[in-house]
Amino acid sequence: MYYVIIGRDCATMQQELATAVQGREDVRVILNRRYGERRADGQPKSPDRRRKERRRRPDFPPADADA
């Protein structure tokens, strides 16, 4: 599947491309609806708040432990 994302200021181009690829199941022309960057403030993300590692070791001994 191919996604062609067109900037919001090029709506005419989006219509023309959508018409050009009409009937193709593997191409999708999308008009970008976002107004700006999500992280426009430039501030770093908040620190990781997890208190412990979520992964844990298995409770059984490794296969070569009794060798």
In a domain, residue 23? The reply is yes
Is 46 among the domain residues? Answer: no
Structural domain includes residue 51: no
Number of domains forming the structure of the chain: 1
Q: What is the pLDDT of residue 24?
A: 93
With respect to residue 15, please indicate whether it lies within any of the assigned structural domains.
yes
Residue 12 lies in a domain: yes
In a domain, 8, yes or no: yes
Q: What pLDDT score does 49 carry?
A: 74
Q: How far is CA 54 from CA 16, 39, 60, 62, in A?
A: 49, 27, 18, 21
Q: At 2, list the tokens.
A: 């191919």
pLDDT score at 59: 76
Decide if 16 is inside a domain.
Answer: yes
What tens digit of pLDDT does each residue of 15-48 get?
999 999 999 999 999 999 887 776 666 666 677 7
Q: Is the pLDDT of residue 53 over 90?
A: no
Q: Which domain holds residue 27?
A: 2-31
The alpha carbons of the chain give a radius of gyration, in whole angstroms, of: 25
What band does 8 get if pLDDT is binned at 50, 70 and 90? confident
